[in-house]
Every structure is written in C-alpha cells, then in structure tokens.
A and B are shown apart, each in its own frame.
Chain A
C-alpha cells in the first residue's frame, strides 16, 4: 500500500506539466485560453496587442482570452465498506490517488477546494488550501476504517444543496442508486466510478466464502467462470441504469479501475 507521501509525489509529477486554464468561463479577461482577435479598443491591455495581426491588417489588433475564473471545487468521497476490496490495490487507495490528483490540480489553480467524506449519516468537510492539508487528508482517507460503513444517499444531496454553485466530483463505487437530479441542476457534476476488475468479474476459480463487511453474512460457493459472467452481466445492467441517470442530468461519468493509471484515466474522463 502506498503512503500518502508517495501518492502526493506521484501526483505532483503528473500534474507538474499540466497547464492552467483547465476550467474555462465564458467571461473574457485574464487567462491563457485564446478566444479571438479584435481591433484594439481604448482600455485594452497593450500587452495583448497582436503585432503580426496588426501588421497584416494595418490597424492595431488585440488578442482576447477567456477569463480564468476561480471556482468552487468540491470533491465528494462516498465511503462505504465495499471500498475495502482490491486485487491490484485497495479501492480506497485508488480513491486517495484520485482525490490527490483532483485536489492538487485544484489548489494549483487557486480554486476554493473542499474535500468531503460521506459515511453513514455523517460528513467530514476538509477545506484544502495547501499541500500540507492535502497530505493529511490523504492520510486520513488511507487510514479510514471502512468496515461497517455505509452510504446514506440523502447526505450528498442535502450537503450540496446548501453549497454555492460548484464543480463537484463524486467518487465512489456507485452500488447504491442516488438521485442526482436536484444537485445536477445547480452544479457541474463529474461522477468517478471506482472499481476493481475482480469485483466485476469474480472468477476466483475456487470455492470461497465471501463475507459482507456490513452485516457479516457469508456466501459460500464455487466461484466459477460461469457464475462470474452471470454476475458481470447483472452488474452491467445495474451500471447501465446509473449511466442513463447520469446522461439524463448531464453528469460527466467515468470509471477508474485499480489497475488503471489514474492520471491518464482522469485526463480522459475530464477532457
């Protein structure tokens, strides 16, 4: 299992070359994202004059950029006992790495960043402004006692409805159905499914006793390829329902597995 420091180092390395202006606004102003060239007007910043365009047209032209605006970023982690699983690495370790990437990038862009852990009926809100805070948050996540923890579907809705308009990342394994219609209307939501290949296709190829972390009930069976495939298709049906709900509410969704490169996968999802 990676330590919090190792995760942060990896994140720094990955994000180091990332450019700013990830989050665009339609406001024109300071920023790096080029929008258009228009004739210079009084009051325009003379540093933005495009001399080559001015030379071609014969009058002063200035570059217009999209404004880089500070936004609220809320990273919501749905903690449940089902995260205490992983064949390549534990799912909560993967979540820690995802959180580290998102929060680090957000801090780099000087956004208002909050990390919220949802578990049982409680929520733990961590305001993150610097790397020290992020390191402690990752450590807290890695050491969280997940057993006997479950998701309260209402907690996320209740919390986000009280917050200002934000860019929200919801991270979890999404086994429970949550109605995102209310919060998706107000916020820009990105759902990140965290899964392990073995939990989607439990082809253990042997007789096993599988325990439920919450109620300690057991299932004893020979987990063959046939059973694994059957379970996989059943899970796919349930996931498709979630994806449909996300699509209906313009929620960007992506899946990261424990054997994926987090940075590459996140780049694809949040492109």
Chain B
C-alpha cells in the first residue's frame, strides 16, 4: 500500500505557497523609469521562476514526508489457521433471503481472516468443494458471489457428506489449527455418508467443527449439530436473525484468533529519493537560469 510516513509534513506545502508571495527575498533595489512597461515583459519569466521555486519546495517537502510502499510479509504460513466454510445452499435457504444474508456475513468474515487459509464448500442435494484451501481471499469472495441457492440442487440437505468432504480438504494439511464452520437451516436427509463416519473423519484430521443452525428450531436437528460440535471440540450456535448470524461469526472469529502476527512483518520501500532527485534537478535548473551571467550578458 502506498502512503507517507509523516503526512503532517505535507502541510508545509501550503506554507510554502503563501511564502512564495509574502516572504520574498529582498534583492538589491534601484529606481527604474517606466517600470510599468517592464512589468509586462518580465511577467512570464517571473511566472516560470515562481513555478520552479514552488515545485522545488513542494518536492522537497514531499520527500521529507517520506513516501513509502508497505507490504505485509508473512514468514511462516503453516502456523496460521486453516478454515473451511461449509454453507447450506438448499432450497430452504432461499426463504427470507437467508442465503444472501449469510453470503454477506461470510464475506466480512473472510476479509477479517487475513493471514489464514480458507476453503469453501457448498451442499444441498450433494456436497462439493467450491474453493480448496487457499490464501487467495479475492477468489473465494468472487466465487461466493456467483454461488446461489440451487447450484447443488434444491430438494435435499447432504449435511454429513459436506462434513466428510470438507474434512478431506485438510488431508495434507500441516497446520495445527484446523477449523470448519458448518452453517445449515435444515437436517440431513441423504444417506450418502453416515454421521459417525463424517465425525470420525473430522476428528481424525483434528478439525474443530463449529456448527451454526439458522431459522426455525423445528427445521434443523440441534442434537446432531451439537454432537458434531462437541465431538470435534468446538461449539454449536443457533439463531433466527441476521444479527445473530453476524454475532456468531464474530464470536468464532474471536475464539479462533490467529496468532500469526508474530511471524508477520511490514516491508517498507522508501521512495523519498525520487521527489528529492527531481527537486535537486529543478534546483540546478533554477540556479542555472538565475546565475548564468554569460548567457545573460
């Protein structure tokens, strides 16, 4: 990101501009007849010199404010979290615009997990991995924006299959912190993967599965979701409002705070020498224009 280290120094440009008119150096002065006529002749030359003076001062001040480009460098990514976001995209998620609300909240969550690897899985009639584990948050957000209810069917809810599939994502993972956040508004009604197998797979891969149930309590199986969370060492949440979903994701965000900052540093590239070099070149031009008596003779 491009910025200046000392932005308040830039205020000096305003002072320099005012000084250009009110703090002029006093030169050797003589009376001259018909100076009004001379005024029009020297106007353009004065304009050039004042512009040069102002540019030199502005560039010097810009150099003084120290323009820098900051880049965040992460030394050891393996110590970051790996999070799999598992979203229910079945037909019921269309009611009350639930899926769109969830998408917005999930996008905010993704943006907050700057140093973590994220994956995205979708389930309805079947489960599939939309984005495997990656640091490329922009791609996840972009793909998520294109996902809508019905992309994996509308009739069923392959909840266990989604958990099983998501667990497979962590197969080759070296991270110590593996998390899955499973969001649903219904209950599993497919028999592709049994619950125990899905939980075992998650446990084997040391994945903490946070389960979030949204909507009416009659629609989801709280017992199953609690079991999944409890068996994997995570928590179960349920809510019936968009604010509630937001709070749950915020809570998970706080609970699983990444400690990756200790291995992160800011790489600063200084650019002060560019305006400074230009200012020096203009200064040379200014003195050349002012003092070349041979040319002026």
- Contacts from A to B (Cβ < 8 Å): 81-85, 91, 147, 173, 175, 199, 202-203, 205-213, 217-227, 230-231, 234-235, 238
Q: In the assembled complex, which residues on chain B have CB atoms less than 8 Å from the CB atom of A173?
A: 33-34
Q: Report the separation of the CA atoms of residues A209 and B39 in the bound assembly, to the nearest whole angstrom.
A: 11
Instruction: Report whether B31 and A213 are in contact in the complex, using a CB–CB cutoff of 8 Å.
Output: yes
List B14-68 residues whose CB lies under 8 Å from chain A.
24, 26-42, 45-46, 49
Of the residues A147, A202, A208, A212, contact of B28 by C-beta under 8 Å: A208
The binding surface of chain A is classed by DSSP as mixed
Additional 8 contacts, C-beta under 8 A, given A203-B297, A217-B35: A199-B33, A206-B296, A208-B27, A218-B29, A219-B35, A227-B45, A231-B37, A231-B41
Distance in angstroms from A112 CB to nearest chain B CB is 33
Distance in angstroms from B273 CB to nearest chain A CB is 30
Q: In the assembled complex, which residues on chain A have CB atoms less than 8 Å from the CB atom of B29?
A: 208-211, 218
Distance in angstroms from B234 CB to nearest chain A CB is 77
Instruction: List the 7 closest A-B pairs by CB distance, nearest first.
Output: A82-B33, A224-B296, A210-B32, A221-B42, A209-B29, A209-B27, A212-B35
B65-95 interface code vs A (CB 8 A; 1 in, 0 out): 0000000000000000000000000000000
Q: In the assembled complex, which residues on chain B have CB atoms less than 8 Å from the CB atom of A221?
A: 42, 45-46, 49
B8 at the interface (CB under 8 A from A): no
Q: Report the separation of the CA atoms of residues A180 and B215 in the bound assembly, to the nearest whole angstrom.
A: 103
Distance in angstroms from A95 CB to nearest chain B CB is 13
Q: Report the separation of the CA atoms of residues A161 and B293 in the bound assembly, to the nearest whole angstrom.
A: 52
Q: In the assembled complex, which residues on chain B have CB atoms less than 8 Å from the CB atom of A220?
A: 24, 27, 46
Given A220-B27, A220-B46 in contact, is the A85-B32 Cβ separation under 8 Å? yes
Instruction: Report whether B293 and A206 are in contact in the complex, using a CB–CB cutoff of 8 Å.
Output: yes
What would be 17 A-B contacts, judged by CB atoms less than 8 Å apart?
A81-B31, A81-B33, A82-B33, A85-B32, A205-B297, A206-B296, A209-B27, A210-B29, A212-B35, A212-B36, A217-B35, A219-B39, A219-B46, A221-B49, A223-B296, A227-B42, A230-B41
